[in-house]
Amino acid sequence: MKISINQTQLYIEQNGSGPALLLIHGYPLNREMWRPQISTLSASFNVIAPDLRGHGDSDPSPGPYTMNMLADDCADMLRVFGIEEPVIVCGLSMGGYVAFAFQRKFPSKVAGLILAATRAGADSPEAQVNRDKAAALAVEKSINVVIEGMLPLILSPKTYEKRPQLVNKVENIMGQTSLEGIVGALMGMKLRPDSTPDLGQIDIPTLILHGADDQIIPLSESETMHASIPNSQLEIIPDAGHLPNLEQPQLFTPIVQEFIQSIYK
């Protein structure tokens, strides 16, 4: 359903009942990237999967979309759904950056954290320059040029070569992002703060997942987070790149399910 949050119409999909699980997608994706998890996990949990502003079926607004702004959107969505109790916050990549912001802003609303294919650090100066280049490319050429550049990197080399249907699916999901959404997210990620100093203070159960063949965020980023977050578990998903939940759902989803069940046992 579409609801008005901070003057923007945002799309949120809700399925199932039980403990609430908030799934925050990466860039430039949308809730569709969580389809295998929505299908399976909604049998046990109240799964809330939004499209962040400018992505999927959510309207764009002028950027930058700071991680704080996106975290506020998520908190407002939960409020609209009447969810008062702490939730499990699961974010992949940019969704992980939003999860860090959510945890910082609303610690009492988080029962557990799931950080997939993400990193705690801010952008390096070089990465910031690359954000500007990608935004300029999207504006001057088209979002398709940005998507075409990202597609071979977002999946593992093996997935990219051997699973054309999945490649097409990811390309289609990315193609549903608006130009304003792409630029707003790039500028918001460029501005995001370093979450590394917060890691030692995270005092809730945390599950970290990373594809062994991630070409966008190196596995070492998850290893660093695991070493710094006291109550954390690291799971490395073989034969997966930056989208381990889509490339290996049969491995990814049960790990998530068990983790959540261990919190509510």
Half-sphere exposure of 29 (CA within 13 A, CB side): 24
Sequence-distant (≥ 6) Cβ neighbours of residue 265 within 8 angstroms: none
Q: Is 3 or 122 the residue whose CB approaches ligand MLT more closely? A: 122
94 binds ligand MLT (CB under 6 A): yes
Site for ligand MLT in 43-82 (CB under 6 A): none
- DSSP run (H or E) holding 76: helix 67-80
Contact present, 248 and 236 (Cβ < 8 Å): no
- Strand segments (E) across 117-248: 206-211, 232-237
Q: Any idea what DSSP says for residue 142?
A: -
Nearest-approach distance from CB 245 to ligand MLT, in angstroms: 12
The yes or no reply on residue 93 touching ligand MLT (CB under 6 A) is yes
Q: Which of residues 227-256 bind ligand MLT (CB under 6 A)?
A: 242
Size of the site for ligand MLT (CB under 6 A): 7
Cβ at position 261, least distance to ligand MLT in Å: 27
Write down how long the chain is.
Answer: 265
Out of 80, 216, 236, 251, the residue judged to bind ligand MLT by CB under 6 A: 216
Rounded-to-integer distance, Cα 184 and Cα 66, Å: 8
| Least spacing, CB of residue 227 vs ligand MLT, in Å | 21
User: Is residue 184 a contact point for ligand MLT (CB under 6 A)?
Assistant: no
Of 10 and 29, CB closest to ligand MLT: 29
225 touching ligand MLT, by CB under 6 A:
no
Q: Shortest Cβ distance from residue 28 to ligand MLT (Å)?
A: 8
Q: What is the b/e burial string over 62-87, where b = at least 16 CB atoms within 10 angstroms of the residue's CB?
A: ebbbbbbbbbbbbbebbebbebeebb
Binding site for ligand MLT (CB under 6 A): 26-27, 93-94, 189, 216, 242
